[in-house]
Structure 1
Amino acid sequence: MSTGDVSPWWRGAVIYQVYPRSFADGNGDGIGDIAGIRSRLNHLAALGVDAIWFSPWYPSPMADAGYDVADYRDIDPVFGTLAEAEALIAEAHALGIRTIVDVVPNHCSDAHPWFQAALASPDAPERELFWFRPGRGPDGAQKPTDWVSPFAGDTWTRTTNPDGTPGDWYLHLFAPEQPDFNWDHPRVRAEFEDILRFWLDRGVDGIRIDSAAMLAKDPTLPEATPDGPSPFVDVDAVHEIYRSWRRITDSYPGDRALIGEVWLPDHQRFANYLRPDELHAAFNFDFLGCAWDADALRACIDTTLAAHSLVDAPATWVLSNHDVTRHVTRYGREDTTFSFAAKREGVPSDLELGTRRARAGALLSLSLPGAAYVYQGEELGLWEVEDIPRELRQDPMYYRSGGVDPGRDGCRVPIPWSGETPPFGFSPDDAASAPWLPQPADWKDRTVRAQTGDERSMLELYREAIRIRRAEPGLGDGTMTWLPAPEGVLAYHRPPGFTCLVNLSGAAVPLPPHTERLLASGPLDDDLLPPDTAVWLRTTGTPAGPETA
């Protein structure tokens, strides 16, 4: 544990999410891999991030982009080898960059040896490690519950016995290829405690926990009701699991962090995961999904900070990730919120407006108290690719919804590094295969090479913002105070001498008294801050907000 006045790194880190399939392709097969990541670590060092979070890279049939894990202690051959992963962790450490691996504990792949053994015989002891249940009705033909999947569709699939007769059903809150573990069984708990140790022994600094609120289930399997507690989300028994995990991470040298993917509307219930003996941090989905609106953002920030203060945990600020429409596109729409239900093809977006707001959003998220996450490509100003041909789409959400939901492929398109045409340096020049998802030709202006050295580019904005954040004593972990501001303007102070203004109104507003302009997301009009623009200022004494008259 940290001692003295030095805050643990995870309280104020800038963490960069690498989606391995789409970051960089080292061997030319059109799919990103560990060799590609290792070759591009210099980009992340130049960006100035503190840590990298790797989305799943384990052996997997890829029914859900690797979130269906067949072996938690190895690397899928499409990404490389375990030795390469160990080298990557060491090389990142040599650059001062920590590493976070993604663990998926709610479910595994149907190719996992345990599940294959469970299918082999109705009497297999491995069946107790999952949720096998007889069906309802005289012939067992009705699924055991009517639970609805977050992926849309059914949550139960019926098995076939070795003799060909219909068998029991098994639970999968996500795709049928992702059977849920039974966390009431001690063998499941012991297995994941060992998996944690496996990766911590290899030097990783953190574990990101997928679907962290869903592990425990009500063992009576009651139906879900609109007003009652969910039988499979945020069941109280989940907390003892994380207490045991915390004891493991605390036993390792250095500050090892547990970071949960926790989607919960109840802020008190959310805070329970961040108690001192549970997780260190959790993702802030309220902020990610919030409208580009001053009142909504201020309320979200206040609620977030209040919830985290209950347990003295650091807040996290996230604008995009591998599951949501990229915020350049979201912020250019009439409805700037994010929700899975409202995500549809054909909704127009003003990408110029979205980019201007995304630049301001970057300065907002990077200057709030706590840790900030950057999803690969957001530092390049990439937008959602919404015209992927149907035959090239791969996300099961697209197919399970009958094409109603366009899925998540549009934010997973391989990122551009250099050159005028695809694959934009994502793959080697002599690559045998095209990138696994097609890149827009318009991304030639969004490559790392095209933006490097251009002070007006999104990339240089991120580099400078992260540099200032590292140098500024008031940024990262700490406190903030709202300042008086006109309608539609966010203004806050972070001691000892930092002030941020974000103008979400339709008119320019005057800057408050200041001694230095540290950084602006767009051009200023003398002493006026234009709409959809943010500025960082050096202030002294008791700061004043912008004029409200």
Structure 2
Amino acid sequence: MISDEPWWKTAVVYQIYPRSFADSNGDGIGDLPGIIGRLDYLAGLGVDVLWLSPVYPSPQDDNGYDISDYQGIDPVFGTLDDFDRLVAEAHRRGLKIVMDLVVNHTSDEHPWFVESRSSTNNPKRDWYWWRPPRAGMAGGDPGAEPTNWRSFFSGPTWHFDETTGEYYLHLFSRKQPDLNWENPEVRQAVHAMMRWWIDRGVDGFRMDVINMISKDTALPDGVALAGQALGDGSPFYICGPRIHEFLNELNSAVFDSPLLTVGEMPGVTLEQAVEFTAPDRREVDMVFQFEHVGLDQGASKWDIRPFRLHDLKATFGRWQAGLADAGWNSLYWNNHDQPRVVSRFGDDSPEHRVRAATMLGTVLHMHRGTPYVYQGEELGMTNVPFRSIDDFRDIESVNHYAEATAAGEDPAAVLVSLRKMSRDNARTPMQWDDSPNAGFTTGTPWLAVNPNYPTVNASKATADPDSVFHYYRRLIELRHTEPVVAHGDFTMLLPDDDRVYAFTRRLGDVELLVLGNFSGDTVPTDLSGQSEVLIANYPPDTGDPIVLRPWEARVYRRAS
């Protein structure tokens, strides 16, 4: 019965990147009091859950995803008292709080790692992955790393530590050493930390790269990457041999109440996701998969390819069908790691931005799964016209530019790909109004505000009934009031059409027909509405068969 379904199936999650959301004290960095001051805005949008990117103490090498204390709040964001007040004020408005959990790695400044690197016989030595140089080679020499794996942030995954003469593993920045989950003491410490946050009122966790916590303990070399000395080690750390055991153990040790758990899982397959999210396996409620946000990429995220709609339909359709009977989908276009979707898959020109943004929102929210809205998505925020590498702050982008230009690539061409795909596109400050710095701060923002803020901002959007904001509010309301949106089955239509995305949702005798025009053209279809228009981003057009205007979205409700 629908009444027995978990609460998060009818929920909408709003992701906050605290550093860029709202600054209360004028230091140019968003903070917890700033979020508290905007809770009424979020409640007005109608979302159910606020997911906070990391606010723990951190050296900020990777903008907070390098945690130096799991049971505190970084002073730049506020205090634990501020956090407790945020939880209380959110709960008072019916909003739940989900924390970002980063336990594949810590900061190299975390006390655990400080102890681990102090000597080879320290009790916490085995809390991280330490290995000697390759046989016959000296530590620090080129190629002496224990494996040939390439880091996600460029260069090798191993860093030589002169204190003990060994290397430690870091899949990301060298300041983000990987925890060794093979050690039961590590797992128990993580479980205890999570229970501590639950006791403070947290309603769930988004778990960062959680499918990388189990490694093949043999640590084999990966297949060499074309033109590089380094190799692809991902087969030995993505969904490793004990991943299901570790997640089931975590679930049993921590989640004894109806919390929301979502696992970010790069490289996860549909078949693996079915196992991770099947309720009887007690691992996670849903996963973040990356197939659809890799469709416009070649060998790397910087190798940008044309977006083809039928590829998107094939990917979404497979995941809808594959998780129809067991497990659950998470639905997203944007997050702190992805460029703005209206610029990426839509049209961010002044003429089409609003309708492209609302069409994209319609298509996503009408799928089966839990939708995630990233801050500013509900305003139709766009990518940023970065002028030079000096405008970027993201470590991944800065490292890529340095490595690519050192290898002889044209700096101008590298900047073109950065402007399109850099994570900084998502991290520019939230655009609240048309005052200086978009109302984000009275100081100097840590990352420059998108220059289009005088026209794209929350103040204008909330005052305009035809804005992206109010359209998203209506989309979210539909999920709450129309059971078919959350619980209906899914059938793809027109799978090979390269401009129109069409599908139905059905529950009992209610069927929805969802249409989205992914083009700036007027497109005739052979589809017929013959029913009530539930939501649309253009004034009504009663023509039959349906003709879609540029970037048009319609949802028909058909009762039989």
TM-score range, shorter chain: 0.7 to 0.9
Match of 1:512 in 2: 528
Paired residues of 1:332 and 1:355 also in contact (CA < 8 A) = no
Alignment of 1:64-75 (within 5 A): 64-75=62-73
1:525: how far off? 4.6
Match of 2:182 in 1: 184
Paired residues of 2:50 and 2:96 also in contact (CA < 8 A) = yes
SS at match of 1:234: coil
1:442 aligns with 2:452: yes
321, 331, 342: which one pairs with 1:328? 342
- What are the Cα deviations for residues 18-75 of structure 1, in whole angstroms up to 9, with x where unaligned? 0000011111111000000000001110100010110000000000000000011111
Greater displacement, 394-403 / 58-67: 394-403
TM-score normalised over the length of structure 1: 0.88
SS at match of 1:443: coil
1:140 aligns with 2:156: no
260, 265, 269: which one pairs with 2:263? 260
1:94 aligns with 2:92: yes
* Consecutive unaligned residues in structure 2, runs of 5 or more: 225-231, 297-306, 403-413
Matching residue's letter, 2:5: S
1:484: how far off? 6.5
Paired residues of 1:15 and 1:371 also in contact (CA < 8 A) = yes
Identity of aligned residues (%): 37
1:332: how far off? 4.5
- What are the Cα deviations for residues 196-229 of structure 1, in whole angstroms up to 9, with x where unaligned? 1011111111111000111111111111237997
Match of 1:533 in 2: 552
Greater displacement, 320-329 / 387-396: 387-396
Instruction: Output the CA distance in 1 between the equivalents of 2:124 and 2:183.
Output: 10
SS at match of 1:535: strand
1:353: how far off? 4.6
Alignment of 1:286-297 (within 5 A): 286-290=291-295, 293-297=308-312
Paired residues of 2:538 and 2:552 also in contact (CA < 8 A) = yes
1:319 aligns with 2:317: no
Match of 1:270 in 2: 273
* Cα 1:221/1:483, change in 2 over 3 Å: closer
SS at match of 2:165: strand
* Cα 1:218/1:38, change in 2 over 3 Å: same
281, 290, 303: which one pairs with 2:318? 303
1:290: how far off? 4.6
* Cα 1:301/1:41, change in 2 over 3 Å: same
SS at match of 1:424: helix
Greater displacement, 62-71 / 149-158: 149-158
Instruction: Output the CA distance in 1 between the equivalents of 2:446 and 2:496.
Output: 47
Q: CA RMSD in A?
A: 2.3
SS at match of 2:241: coil
Matching residue's letter, 2:369: G
SS at match of 1:53: strand
Match of 1:13 in 2: 11
Paired residues of 1:20 and 1:57 also in contact (CA < 8 A) = yes
1:269: how far off? 2.1
Match of 2:299 in 1: none
Matching residue's letter, 1:463: R
Higher percent of residues as helix: 2
125, 135, 140: which one pairs with 2:123? 125
Match of 2:431 in 1: 416
Match of 1:156 in 2: 158
SS at match of 1:208: strand
Matching residue's letter, 1:159: D
Instruction: Output the CA distance in 2 between the equivalents of 1:501 and 1:193.
Output: 44
Instruction: Output the CA distance in 1 between the equivalents of 2:496 and 2:312.
Output: 15
Paired residues of 1:50 and 1:98 also in contact (CA < 8 A) = yes
Instruction: Output the CA distance in 2 between the equivalents of 1:297 and 1:321.
Output: 18
Paired residues of 2:209 and 2:265 also in contact (CA < 8 A) = yes
Match of 1:215 in 2: 213
* Cα 1:482/1:123, change in 2 over 3 Å: closer
Paired residues of 2:503 and 2:514 also in contact (CA < 8 A) = yes
* Cα 1:218/1:37, change in 2 over 3 Å: same
Matching residue's letter, 1:492: T
Instruction: Output the CA distance in 2 between the equivalents of 1:302 and 1:222.
Output: 35
* Cα 1:484/1:186, change in 2 over 3 Å: closer
* Cα 1:486/1:114, change in 2 over 3 Å: closer
Paired residues of 1:68 and 1:178 also in contact (CA < 8 A) = yes
- What are the Cα deviations for residues 75-134 of structure 1, in whole angstroms up to 9, with x where unaligned? 100001111111111211111111110110100000000111122223222111111111
Paired residues of 1:491 and 1:502 also in contact (CA < 8 A) = no
Instruction: Output the CA distance in 1 between the equivalents of 2:445 and 2:357.
Output: 26
493, 512, 515: which one pairs with 1:501? 515
1:154: how far off? 1.3
Greater displacement, 195-204 / 62-71: 195-204
Instruction: Output the CA distance in 2 between the equivalents of 1:144 and 1:485.
Output: 47
Matching residue's letter, 2:159: T
Match of 1:478 in 2: 488
504, 507, 511: which one pairs with 1:492? 504
Match of 1:547 in 2: none
* Consecutive unaligned residues in structure 1, runs of 5 or more: 334-348, 542-549
- What are the Cα deviations for residues 113-167 of structure 1, in whole angstroms up to 9, with x where unaligned? 0111122223222111111111014343311110011222111111112xxxx71
* Cα 1:513/1:526, change in 2 over 3 Å: closer
Instruction: Output the CA distance in 2 between the equivalents of 1:13 and 1:96.
Output: 12
